[in-house]
Structures are given as C-alpha cells and as structure tokens.
Structure 1
Amino acid sequence: MRDISSFAAGQWIAPGAGARNIASAITGEVIAQAGNDALDVQAMLGYARDTGGPALRKMTFHDRARMLKALALHLREQRQTLYELSYDTGATLNDHKIDVDGGIGTMQVYAAKGRREMPDAHVYLDGPPEQLGRTGAFMGRHICTPLQGVAVHINAFNFPVWGMLEKLAPTLLAGVPAIVKPATATCYVTEACVRMMLDSGVLPAGALQLVSGGLGDMLDHLECQDAVAFTGSADTAFKLRTNPKLIKNSVRFASEQDSLNASVLGPDATPDTPEFDLFVKEVQREMTAKAGQKCTAIRRIMVPQSLLDPVIAAISARLARTTIGDPRAETTRMGALVSASQKRDVLEKAALLAGEAERVFGDPDNFTVEGADREKGAFVPPMLFHCADPDSAQRVHDTEAFGPVSTIMAYRDLGHAVALLNKGKGSLVASVITNDGEVAREITLGAAAFHGRLYFNNRRSMAEATGHGAPLPHMVHGGPGRAGGGEELGGVRGVMHYMQRTAIQGSPDILTAIGEQWVPGATELTDKPHPFTRTFSTLMLGETFNSDSREVTLEDIETFAHFTGDTFYAHMDDEAAKANPFFPGRVAHGYLLLSFAAGLFVQPDPGPVLANTGLDNLRFLEPVSAGDSIKVRLTVKHKTPRNDEYGEVRWHVTLTNQKDEAVAEYELLTMNAV
C-alpha cells in the first residue's frame, strides 16, 4: 500500500479524509490510496497566482523553452521508473512508451518551437503592424501576453504522463502556472512524474502543483485570468463547463472528450493493394494499443460493401494473434483495462452495441489470459461488431465502449461514407486509407467540419506515418461537437490558449517599445558605425544604414541576363515589355536589384556577421528601368539569440529609386557573433 500525496502550496500532503483505494489492474489487489478532502484550494490558487505566475512571467519565452528542455531531459533519464510503475495500470511496455516517451517528446517539441518560433521576449507578436492613419504615424498591432492566473488541468486515466505533459508544456511556455489533477485510478504514475520534475530544481516555486484525488470546490474560486483544460467523458465535461462560477467569470474552458472516431477504407484499396493490409494493421493496432483505452482509438470502421467480408476476416485473423496477459510478460500484446469498474463499463457498453450489431470476433466469457487471473484482473478480449444497418443504428454512432471494441459497417459510395462519418457528430480524428487523391478530397470536403484531424495514409506515406491514434504536438488535437469543441497542442496555437490577445494602438515608436521589434516609421538610429561591424549584443533596434546610390544601366541588365540565363522578355525586348501592363519598357531583373543592394550595404571585411541565412517577405513594388538609380536603407528590426556564440538579426531592407519611391522591400536574416 502506497500513500499518493498531493503537492499543494509548496508542501507534500499525504492522503487524509476522503482517500480512495487504488487497485492493480492486473491482480485487483489494492496497491495505493489517494485523496485528501482537507486540501486548502484557495491557498493553492494563491500560491500559483502570487508566486508561480510572477516568477514565470519574469522569464522570456526562450527562458521558459530552455526550462522545458531541461525538464524533458531530466525525465528521460528517469523514465524506467515510470515504466515500472505503469505496469499496474494494465499497460504493456509499448503502451508505456506511448505515454511516457510521448509526453517527454511533446515537451521537447515545445522547447524547440519556443526557441525557433517565439521571441526571446515577454510579448508575442500576433501578425504584422496595421497602418491606421494616412501617414503611418498611428499604427495598430495584435500582441499576446500570459494570463495572470492559473491553469487547472483535469486529466484522464489512460495517459497519466502524456496527458499531463501535453497540457503542461504549452502552459509553462506561455508563462502560466498549473495545478494538475490526474484521474485517481492512475495518479500514482503522475505523482512520481511530478516529484521528478520538482526534484529537478528546474521549475520556479509555484509553477506546478498536484492534486491526487478530488479538486473539492477549487473551480468555484476561479477568476477571469484562470483557465481549465479537461480530458475525459462528455458527461463530466458538461458538468464542469456549466459550473456557474466558470460561466459568470468567463473562465476559459477547453475540453477534449470521448468521441466515435472512425476509419474509412477507400474504394481503391482492394485486397491486392498495400492499402488494404495497411488498413487492417491500423485497425488492429488502434483496437489493442492501451487495450483500446485511447480517446483517439478507432470505434467505427467503414468499408466498401464489396469488401466487407474480406475485411472482417482479415481483422479477425490479426486480432486472433493478439496475446492477452500480464503486461510485464514480453509475449503479451494487450494488457488489462485500468480497473474493474472500467471493465464493467466496457462490457455494459458492448452489450448496448450488441442490440444493433452482431459480435463477429471476441467473446468476453471465453478468452485466454496468460500469466494472470482473468477473473481478478480487468481483462477483456478485443471485440469486433458488425452493424448491417448503420443508417438506422443509433447506439453504434453515439455509444463509446472505452476499450478494445469497434464496429464495422459497409458504405455504398463515398457520399454514404461521409454521411456515416458525420453521424458521430464530432470526433477527434477520422482516418482514410486510400491511394486516390480524389477520394481524399471528396471526404475532406464532406467530413472535415466534423473532425478535428483527418489522417490519410497509403503506400507512399506508410513508412513514416505515425498512426491514426497518435496526436502530435505540431498538430491540433481536439474536435467539434461530441469531441468537446476545443483544441490542444497545434504548436504555438496551444500556447495561445493560455495567453490574452490584445490590440495595441499608438505611434510606431510605442509599438516598437512594446513589442521589442522595430516598426517602420519608428525612430532610426543613424549615428552608429556601420551595423555590420557591430556584434549581436551591441546592435540596437532601429540602427539604420543608408547607402550611396547606384545607377542601373542597360549594360547591367544585359550582362545579368546573359550571365544568369534569365532572358525573360521584359528584360530583353522593349516592345514586348511595353505591351505588358506592368512595365514601361525593358526593366531590371528583381534579383539584379537584390544583388546590387547587397553590394551597396555590405561591409566586406571579416567581422561579426557570420552568414546570410535568407530573406523573407520580398516584394517588388515598382519597376526599375535603365538609367534609374537605387539606394538602400538597412535597419535592425529584430534580434533573436540562438546560442552563446551567435544570434539571428532580422534587418528591414528598403530599396528606393532617385524619386525616393520604394521599389523593393524585404527582410534580411543574418547570423551575427555575440
């Protein structure tokens, strides 16, 4: 018997009044207890808001990204401990890797995205500046700053590590402290992971707290700067989101709920194709991984009418090779459900499905369990049902047996397949196995609005594809309708859920000061030495170099054309160029102008500029004819540290002609020594 503690207001608090017993999914024996009705939830909220939040907000996005990376590396070193603890949840080693390694990998992705895609600053710039006045003296811009409250994360039992870390990574990167409440059935794994993170010394005080057991009345004390992220059943989500205090205070509420995810076999994927075998493997894997206890598992299987019997036979054959038993055994391919109560729920839901569909594989009263007692553990076999009339069925499209249970049904044509997909009324993911782009397009147009993610796979992508049921940190995880109507992950999108978007308005100098990025029209510093002679650390926003002018001659244009091979008529044929509505006659190549611009602003001697790494947002604004002159204005727009040796400088570059008209504009990227 282990006591699973909570971490509240800086202290570990053992179970107390209201503690619940936790049983092993394998043996049914009580192994732990968790819960304490005496937790001071207001003290926890105050600790997060007054201690954790200010400490996190003092850090830049890059500081917090480095913090996430350090946490991920620390957890990676200790993951074996988490594996061992996880066996009592009924999960196999491969299941642990999905949970533990997947969670650590998600943290690493957010650490990398924080450094690459977010500024080393305290304000995130959401889009370019907008000119609000005639002359550009009055500008606007959208920015995002961290919420000044706390994020309460309520997680499901099936992923005690990934479920926590996939919410925690974007929350901490945003600069918001979190209170994590895992499901009690598997909270002993989450508690061990939280202890590891706190013991690492990486997190500032108040950044992370843990509730092992019930939340009490914590939600009643949340305010407008707080947020709730929930994963679990639709019924529980409804109870939480309708909390009067959450509604009254406009507390952000994101929900990722159970859903009737589906997989469609394209009409082109006949038994002699790689797609047919791929489909069968995907279905079998999604039914048995984590014993089917995945919010993204395939619950409904849709195949062409002509392929119904071959698909049933092929899936059944693969399921028959799935060894069920003690998850510690190397030969076990599917372990137990998380608890006896979960087993009862799955069997009850399977019985409901049996009212509309015939069970064609898997008998819960007659199956073999290796290395464990079938009656004492929470074991069930994979069960495949066939629904002969999916159009009239109701339970098949609204009842989720949260275990290794799925229902197959036939469709007449793609329109019918789309209609069946959408009868689930919102899912986290639907997959389509097809090698036909038109099939993929038709299903996308008809079904995308009902699904948070569409996963397509075929012979071209199968070697790299991550699987129907694998939410990735780069892509949005969530879905409409029954799936909860929310989003998680999705790269930086996930960070935005814990930030406030604000429109700021003012002069270019004001916008530059707030966003730490130079805005055109703001003050230019022209009294400094050539900027290419200055190190990354000494360069200042707004430092500007104005070049001499250079005449563009006809000889220049022709030399460039013959040297590069770009003899496009607008540069070589005056009559044809004049017939073009964009040109007055022969004009200089745009890339010739860029080359001349480099020659005008470059400082050739060895110095702090290490490399030109590209340019962004190039626009050619006016044509340049032979005899025109150009000059360059080069301004330090933004600086992003990359490591201890160099950082990235983003320069705003404007080319103007002899009339001071802008002829080209772009952003130049260089790496400069610190």
Structure 2
Amino acid sequence: MTTAAAESAQTTIVPSYVLDGWWTPSSEAAGAAGALAEVRDASTGELLAAVSTEGLDLGAVVRHGRSVGQAGLGALTIHERALKLKELAQFLNGHRNELYELSYKTGATKLDSMVDVDGGIGVLFTFGSKGRRELPNSHVIVEGPMEVLSRDGSFVGEHIYSRIPGVAVQINAFNFPVWGMLEKLAPAFVAGVPTIVKPATPTGYVTEAVVRLMIDSGILPAGSLQLISGSARTLLDELDYRDMVSFTGSASTANLLKSHPNVVHGGVRFTSETDSLNAAILGPDGVPGTPEFDAFVRSVVTEMTVKAGQKCTAIRRTIVPAGIVDDVVAAIGARVAEKVVIGDPRAEGVTMGALASVGQLADVRDAVESLVAAGGRIAWGSLDAPEVVTAGGAKAVVSDGAFMSPVVLAWDDVRAAALHGTEAFGPVSSVVGYSSIEEAIELAALGAGSLVATVCTNDPATAQALTLGIASHHGRVLVLNREDARTSTGHGSPVPHLVHGGPGRAGGGEELGGIRSVKHHMQRTAIQGSPNMLTAVTGVWHKGADRHLADPADPSAHPFRKSLAELRVGDAVRSELRQVALEDITAFANETGDRFYAHTNEEAAAANPFFPGIVAHGYLLVSWAAGLFVSPEPGPVLANYGLENLRFLTPVPAGDSIRVTLTAKQITPRVTDEYGEVCWDAVIENQNDEIVATYDVLTLVAKEWPA
C-alpha cells in the first residue's frame, strides 16, 4: 500500500485509516476513470473533497484487525476498555465546535449537529459507565446461575460470554456520521472486538475528522479502529464466521449484503437497521385543545424537520382519529410555518437545513411523486424549490442546494399499499385517519415492521391497548402524554440504554440496549465440568469448588484481614454455632416492631404450613450471621454496601442453632481507585447442616493494607 496522497487529484481525497496509518490512493489509482466520487456542500453545492479506495487491500485491513486489534484489546480487561471510552468521550468533548463546523456542510443545523456529535459522545460516556458498573473486571462474563448436572454436584454447567475472535465491520448511513459510528463502536470496544468503520460517502469526511481526533488522542490500542473512506464492495469477501457486520441503510442494500455467500454459508454474523415507516398514533382522547394533541403535533413536526427528516426513526405515518385529520394537518402546517426556517445552517435563525445531497433531494421528490400517483395528495407544503436563508442572511432559491419544504400528505384510502410501503427519506409525513383502536393497531402493523412508534394518550386503557397491540411490530414504543411531554427524549431519539432496531422491514436487528449490545459482539458458550474447573475458567467461585478455610486459631488468616493483593477466590471462613433462644426472637420482635405472628404467636405459627411454631426472623439470622463472620478490627474491608440474592430456605425455631460459611466468590479491582469490590458467597446452616439462607455479601476492600 502507498501512504502518499494522490498527486494528480484536483481536490483533497478523504483518507482512510488502516493498518495504523493514514492512506490515500496512489496518483495513478486516483486518476483512473471513475475512481473518484465527489463530495459537495449540501447547502451551496461547493466541491469539498473526493473519495476513493482504489488499490486498498481490504484483506490486509481485516487481517490487521484480527491480529493487531485483537491483541491490543485483549490485553485490556472489560473495565479498562470501558475506562478508555470515558477518556475518549472527555477528549472529544473538547473538540465539538470544530465538528459542528464540518457538520454544517452536510446540511445539519446546530441542533442537528448536537444530536449527532453530542449524542455520539454521550454513547461513549454511557458505555464507559455501564461497562464498569454492570460487567466484571475480567475477560469473560458469566450468564445466569450454575446448573447442577450430577447428583453429587461434581459435574455442573453454565453459560459464559467471550469476545468473538474477528472484527466488527460497521457500515453506516449518511445521516449521522458521528453518532452512527460511535453507537456501534462503543459496545464492540467494551466487548474487546476491533472495529472497521465504513461511513457513507456524502458525509464520510465528518467521520474521518472524528476518527482523526480519536487516533490523535493516543487513547486507542493499535488496530482497534480502522476507517475505510470510500467503496468497500469486496469487504465481505474477506470475512468469515469470526467476524460480524452491523449495517445501517436501505433495505435493498441490506438484502444484497445478507445474500453474500459468506453470510449465507460462511457464518458471518449480520445485523441490520434499515428502512422503517414509523408511526405515531394519537389516541381518541387527544382532541384539539388537550396537552396530548399539542405534544403530538410538536413531535410530528420535530421528526419531520430535525436532520430535514433524514432519520430512520422519523414519523412517516401520522395515525389519528378520523374526525380530526384536517385539524392535525392544519396544526402541523401552522407549527411548521411558525417555527421552521429553512436555509444554510451557518445562517442565523435557521432551524432546518438541506438534505445531504442533491441526489438525495431528487430521491425524496421522486418518492413523494410516487406516493401522490398512488392516491396521496399534498395537504400542506410543496415540491417546488423553497426560498431559503443563505449563509449571508439573504433569502433566495438556491439551485445548487439540496433544500426542500416539509410536505404533509393526506389519503382517502388509508390502506393504500404505497402509504405503508414507500418511504420518502426527508421532511415528509402522511396523516391518516382511523375509526377504532383496532384499526389504529392494524394500520401501524401495515408498516411490516418498524423501528419505533409513538402512542400519545392520557388514558391508561388506551395506552395499554395500543402499546400491546403494536409492540410485536416495533423495536421501541414511546408512550407520550402530558406527564412526560417535556422530559421525553422524543420519538426519534434512540438512547444507548435501550435497544435500537426493529422486526421485518426495519431489518430484524438490534443495536444498543446497554450491555445487551456488548454481548452481541461475544459468543455465548455453555461450559461443563467440575466446580473447580468452572471456577478456574471464569474466575468466579462455584458451589462445590475447593474452599481455603481460615484457621480459627489464627486471626490473621481470616479473609477480612486480606487486601485484594492477598485475597484469592475461594478464601473462606466458617463460624461456630450460635443457638437461637425464644427470648432472642421476642426481643428482636419488640425492638424492630416486626411482630408478625410467626415470630410471636405459637398457636398461629404452628397452624401455618411453613412453620413448626414460633421461628426466628430471617433478618435476625442475617444480622447474627454478620456477627459470626465479621472481623471487627480495622482492616482492608472498608465497607459493606449491600446484599444480593437473599433467600430464606429453612425456618429456625427456638432451640436450633446456626452457623455461617463465607467464601470469596468474585474479586473486582477498580481500575481508577485504591479499592475494589468483593462478592462473598454466604450460606447459613443449622445444627443439622440444613441450609437456612443463602445470599451474596458485597464489600469494598482495599487493594493494599499495611501488615
């Protein structure tokens, strides 16, 4: 490969970042017929750059990710990777303004750019936090409880997640060049899988600028991120079962990629997010004058105009009670007229910019014309070139710009195939009427699978009926009413905590969803063996595995006397028996006010099928257990911060005795602090070795402690 710029090119070529270096085609390759694709300013038509990957060895790019990228990320634990995302987010935060300036050239307004840039950075922050709070500081994730597979407990099984051994190829759409990349990269990075980003040509120069900042930060391990600026038609030829592809774009392109032999027969993981005719349903109670009507209209206009309607989550079908169709159309038009100023995003006061390119503008106009030909009518707006505010503040019709007026369509045939099957990917929405809740559900479902829908109502029964009726056809449902109208993130805003994707036409895939999306980049494997072997594989102590019981005669051997530097999984302490007297039970009942009859009334307790008579409070036993296992002097155990999975299994009547066995189950050092978490397996047993209670004790323990 050459790393020299193409000398013969008349414009700047957007470089790729591969094999840990910046790459552009040779002058000979760049000069080949059809090698360069032009990129223009969406508002002015100015030529900005050219794009080409002529001569790029895509096989080498994939091999570099599988080798160097896998090694670099594999050297880090999950927490260390998550921390790097946080550092990266903090770094990019300081460069937002320069990214806004680039984003304006795509036709995006300041608000659009914030959604893209700040939203992408926010995803990094979220996964940087969730990765450290919700996942272990290790290289493997245990899923679910251990399954005992033999009578004596010597053969057990469970499921684990480990990272896939290949690369994550992420093919993104033009509408969100920053968020679209970072929302895919973040979970892959936490999982430990190197990323190859393929942005869309019209806005890929913005993605390149973000990647350049990320590389210049020095935060990323070698090989963990590569960028292909331009065509990558043969990239799937280089992939196999070790790799995955995450695609955002048109359904036709997704279907083409899904039919590739390496996907169909070679086991390449493929997830897609594609065309989506999303719906917003206004409930029967949402009549004009109600907060729900106003919130609904605001939402529809927002989704029509943010990013000039170029959002996979935009509201394409506005489904309202049949009697107020004209009211809704009029309200949408009035709000657009009042709030929307179309023009160059660099001009003061502009609230809606251009579409991404004149080609995209032509596609949207063609789609609207096909909808009109199929029975729709333009109820508000026009396909004529609008007068817009130019960068200098003047108003004019800009022939080289990709500007379009918002358009509202109305339909007599609310079941027309085109209405529910043709997407105009711009500032366009159709308003259709329904006569019953059942018909509203039916109309929403005619979209054949969507990313998101809004249900707007203040009636709980309507909210339940509509939401449950459409949920299986959608990846996400926003229930909008007067209570959350101001705080809602909105119909069209995927959040990193919740899944983004949808069935059917929407692609059938899932992205985001918090830790779920990290696991999308991992292999779930059932492992079977002895408790000792599963403990060795996972780093988590399993019931039946060896314990290292402290010598009661040696106080220094108590696990609570060990710092994280000394403590090992399986270190344990077993207490002496303590007898439970009736007086103890009565005193606890009087002190706490918990005088439930099982602890205070012999006759009533004996009549209960679960109790032999008066029994000790479960919380009394847990309190006593702490007294039995705690080492009271100051030491490396700094704090107890909770219990998990508490279960009471065998009642303890007066006269019985209890003991507790505490075992270090999981040790999680914190990367940024001088302490970490230790999860202890706690088992309370009676004098007959019957299990009384089980739970996990959570403590904070110092990494080092003076001898």
Aligning the two structures, in what range does the TM-score lie when normalised by the shorter sequence? over 0.9
Distance 2:66 2:239 in 1: 11
Question: Could you say what secondary structure the match of 1:665 adopts?
Answer: strand
Letter in 2 for 1:369: V
Structure 2 distance, partners of 1:135, 1:427, is: 50
Give the Cα–Cα distance (whole angstroms) in 2 for the partners of residues 644 and 24 of structure 1: 47
Give me the whole-angstrom Cα distance separating, in 1, the residues matched to 2:78 and 2:611.
46
Conserved 8 A contact 1:300-1:408: yes
* Equivalent of 2:514 in 475, 478, 491: 491
**Structure 2 length-normalised TM:** 0.94
Q: Does 1:533 align with 2:561?
A: yes
User: Which residue of 351, 357, 368 corresponds with 2:376?
Assistant: 357
Q: Residue type matched to 1:518 in 2? A: W
Q: Deviations along 1:110-169, whole A, 9 cap, x unmatched?
A: 111110111111111111211111121111010111111111111000000000000000
Cα distance in 1 between the residues matched to 2:385 and 2:83? 52
Moved over 4 A (4+): none
Measured in 2, the distance between the counterparts of 1:527 and 1:629 equals 21
Match of 1:9 in 2: 19
Query: How far apart are the structure 2 equivalents of 1:126 and 1:498?
Result: 15
Distance 1:386 1:425 in 2: 20
The one-letter code sitting in structure 2 at the alignment partner of 1:640 is T
SS in 2 for 1:166: helix
Alignment of 1:476-487 (within 5 A): 476-487=499-510
AA aligned to 2:347 is A
Give the letter aligned to residue 633 of structure 1: T
AA aligned opposite 1:154 = I
Whether the 8 Å contact between 1:653 and 1:666 is mirrored in structure 2 is: yes
CA contact (8 A) 1:569 1:576 kept: yes
Within-5 A mapping of 1:154-165: 154-165=171-182
Q: For 1:12, give the aligned amino acid.
A: W
Greater shift, 590-599 or 533-542, is seen at: 533-542
The structure 2 residue matched to 1:35, chosen from 24, 41, 52, is 52
1:132 alignment counterpart: 149
- Amino acid across the alignment from 1:504: I
Which blocks of at least 5 consecutive residues in structure 2 are unaligned? Answer: 1-10, 392-396, 552-556
Partners of 1:229 and 1:366 lie apart in 2 by 36
Query: 2:359 maps to what in 1?
Result: 341
- Given that residues 8 and 39 in structure 1 are in contact (C-alpha distance below 8 angstroms), is that contact kept between their aligned partners in structure 2? no
Measured in 2, the distance between the counterparts of 1:308 and 1:361 equals 12
The answer to whether residue 632 in structure 2 is matched with residue 604 in structure 1 is yes
Once the 2 structures are TM-superposed, how far is the Cα of residue 275 of structure 1 from its aligned partner?
1.3
1:58 paired residue number: 75
Contact 2:386 2:403 in 1 (8 A): no
2-structure distance, mates of 1:431, 1:641 = 43
Shift of 1:366: 5.8
Corresponding residue SS for 2:303: helix
Distance 1:330 1:640, change over 3 A: farther
User: Share of identical aligned residues, percent?
Assistant: 54
1:83 aligns with 2:97: no
What is the one-letter code of the residue matched to 1:173? V
Give the secondary-structure state (helix, strand or coil) at the position aligned to 2:484.
Answer: coil
Tell me which residue corresponds to 2:701.
672
The one-character-per-residue Cα deviations of 1:356-406 (angstroms, maximum 9, x if unpaired) are 222111112163211164321000001011112212x11110111000000
Q: Alignment length, in residue pairs? A: 673
Structure 2 counterpart of 1:184: 201
Supply the AA of the counterpart residue of 2:381: G
Q: Which residue pairs with 1:543 in the alignment?
A: 571
Q: How does 1:231-380 map to 2 (within 5 A)?
A: 231-321=248-338, 322-355=340-373, 356-365=375-384, 367-371=386-390, 373-380=397-404
Aligned pairs for 1:624-643 within 5 A? 624-642=652-670, 643=672
Letter in 2 for 1:517: V
Match of 1:227 in 2: 244
Q: Cα RMSD (Å) of the superposition?
A: 1.2
How far is 1:445 from its partner? 2.2
Query: Counterpart in 2 of 1:622?
Result: 650
Q: Is the 8 A contact 2:385 2:403 kept in 1?
A: no
Structure 1 residue 273: deviation in Å?
A: 2.0
- Counterpart position of 2:5: none
Ranges in structure 1 where 5+ consecutive residues have no aligned partner: none
Letter in 1 for 2:92: L
Provide the C-alpha distance between the structure 1 equivalents of 2:298 and 2:460, rounded to a whole number of angstroms. Answer: 21
Partner of 1:385: 409
* 1:100 aligns to 2:117 (yes or no): yes
Does structure 2 conserve the Cα–Cα contact (< 8 Å) formed by 1:147 and 1:500? yes
SS at match of 2:510: strand
Once the two structures are overlaid, the 10-residue window that deviates more, 421-430 or 458-467, is 458-467
Counterpart-to-counterpart distance in 2, 1:664 and 1:309? 65
- 1:634–1:654: 8 Å Cα contact kept in structure 2? yes
The SS at the match of 1:126 is strand
What residue in structure 2 maps to residue 145 of structure 1? 162
Structure 1 residues 517-541: Cα deviation after superposition (integer angstroms, max 9, x where no partner): 1111111011461122222332110
Q: Is the 8 A contact 1:630 1:657 kept in 2?
A: yes
* Greater alpha carbon shift after TM alignment, 639-648 vs 312-321: 639-648
| Corresponding letter in the other structure for 1:21 | E
Q: 1:652 aligns with which of 676, 681, 684?
A: 681
Three-state SS of the structure 2 residue aligned to 1:213 is coil
Letter in 2 for 1:38: G
Q: Deviations over 1:6-31 (max 9, x none)?
A: 11222211242412111110111211
- Structure 1 SS opposite 2:388: coil
Q: 2:463 is paired with a residue of what secondary structure?
A: helix
CA distances 1:431-479 after superposition (whole Å, capped 9, x unpaired) = 1111222212112221111100011121222232100000011000000
The question of whether the paired residues in 2 share the 8 Å contact of 1:41 and 1:216 is answered with no
Give 1:663's aligned amino acid.
V
Q: Deviations over 1:527-557 (max 9, x none)?
A: 4611222223321101111111111111111
Counterpart pick for 1:583 among 611, 624, 643 = 611
- In the alignment, the residues of structure 2 paired with residue 441 and residue 539 of structure 1 have an alpha-carbon distance, to the nearest angstrom, of 51
Aligned 8 A contact 1:124 1:144 in 2: yes
Structure 2 match to 1:662: 691
Q: Distance in 1 between matches of 2:288 and 2:667?
A: 56
2: CA distance between counterparts of 1:46 and 1:309? 59
Q: Residue by residue, what CA displacement relative to the aligned partner does 1:223-269 show, whole Å, maximum 9, x if unpaired? A: 11011110000000000110112222110000000100010111122
> For the Cα contact (< 8 Å) 1:57–1:146, is it kept in 2?
no
Q: For the residues of structure 1 that align with 2:385 and 2:53, how far apart are their CA atoms?
A: 40
Note if 1:403 corresponds to 2:426.
yes
Cα distance in structure 1, aligned partners of 2:197 and 2:117: 16
The counterpart of 1:69, out of the listed 62, 65, 86, is: 86
> Which secondary structure does the structure 1 equivalent of 2:298 belong to?
helix
1-structure distance, mates of 2:674, 2:261: 53
Task: Map Cα deviations across residues 589-644 of structure 1 (whole Å, 9 max, x no partner).
Answer: 11111111111111222222222111100000010000010010011111122332
C-alpha separation in 1, matches of 2:64 and 2:605:
70
How far off is 1:423 after superposition? 0.2
Is 1:608–1:672's contact at 8 Å kept on the other side of the alignment?
Answer: yes
